[in-house]
Amino acid sequence: MREFQISLAGQAIGIRSLYDEIFHLCRDYLSDRAELSFRVETRPEDIRFEQEKSLREAALEGKPAFLYPEPYLETLAVYRKIAARMPEYNAWLMHGSAVAVGVEAFLFTAPSGTGKTTHTRLWLEQVPGAYVVNGDKPLLRLRDGICEVCGTPWSGKESLNRNGIVPLRAICFLNRGVENRIKEISFREAAPLLLQQSYRSRDSLTMQKTMSLIRALGDCTHFYRLFCNMKPEAALVSWNGMRNNT
């Protein structure tokens, strides 16, 4: 049993875990603040839930079933519990890759397998000064009418993340295309896509709060749809399109 605390999106969170893997995952986010926002604790049934969920998803997608190690499954369970509490603090988990240039972040989101990881790599190669805030599961936080991208240690297979908070400039929905082109879209068009890529709690009140946060997001950022191939110029098309039009 391990007890420690971390800081995510400005909140101090206590964690009580069964295994040490979650502690090592969160080592860059450790905190010693005296007052905690909330605590999470994992139990064996939480780990079983994550494994059963993985097996169900593999069956639905026609993929081979895989039994993951319990310490890894616990890292998923911990973040699920954290994500369920974050809307209380005006923050929520969104699936996507957040890349920053200077003091502004751009979030790329799409269903798995569309090419977020590849497009992120192209930004790092083609856009001067670009760096990854989180490559897979950042937190978004609304504060004083501004949306911010917050780093977390849950960042995909590449483990690209940075412990920091960066103002969000735009959200871009990726689509595969033969030619690279980008266009700005309305919040009305973006809203169902935002909801699809956000963590959706089974608790109705928490879900209502998440939907309220997503609606507020429409007042403080811009939204784009990018049709792209995976050639280097795709990064420059999205970078120039978003920085010039916002």
pTM higher than the cut 0.85: yes
Q: Which residues lie closer than 8 Å to 231 by C-beta, 6 or more apart? A: 180
- Which CATH number is 130's domain given? 3.90.228.20
Q: Do residues 112 and 43 share a domain?
A: no
pLDDT tens string, the chain, 246 residues long: the values are 899 999 999 999 999 999 999 999 999 999 998 899 999 999 999 999 999 999 998 898 888 888 999 999 999 999 999 999 999 999 999 999 999 999 999 999 988 777 888 999 999 999 999 999 999 999 999 999 999 999 999 998 889 999 999 999 999 999 998 999 999 999 999 999 999 999 999 999 999 999 999 999 999 999 999 999 889 999 999 999 998 754
Mark whether 97 and 125 lie in a shared domain: yes
Strand, helix or coil for residue 6: strand
End residue of a domain, out of 35, 60, 89: 89
Residue 77 · residue 52 · CB < 8 Å: no
Amino acid letter, residue 94: M
> 95-106: per-residue pLDDT in tens?
999 999 999 999
Alpha helices of 62-112 — where are they, by DSSP H? 70-85
Q: Number of C-alpha atoms within 13 angstroms, CB side, residue 160?
A: 19
Specify whether 132 is located in the same domain as 180.
yes
Alpha carbons 178 and 5: distance in angstroms, whole number: 47
Give the count of domains, the chain: 2
Q: Kindly state whether residues 155 and 188 are assigned to the same domain.
A: yes
Q: What is the pLDDT of residue 244?
A: 73
Q: State whether 40 and 152 are in the same domain.
A: no
**CA angle (119 as vertex; 179, 246 as ends), nearest 5:** 80
- Give the residues across from 10 on adjacent strands: none
Domain range for 220 = 91-245
Residue 33 has what pLDDT? 87
Question: DSSP characters for 127-140?
Answer: STTEEEEESS--EE
Q: Are 160 and 209 in contact (CB under 8 A)?
A: no
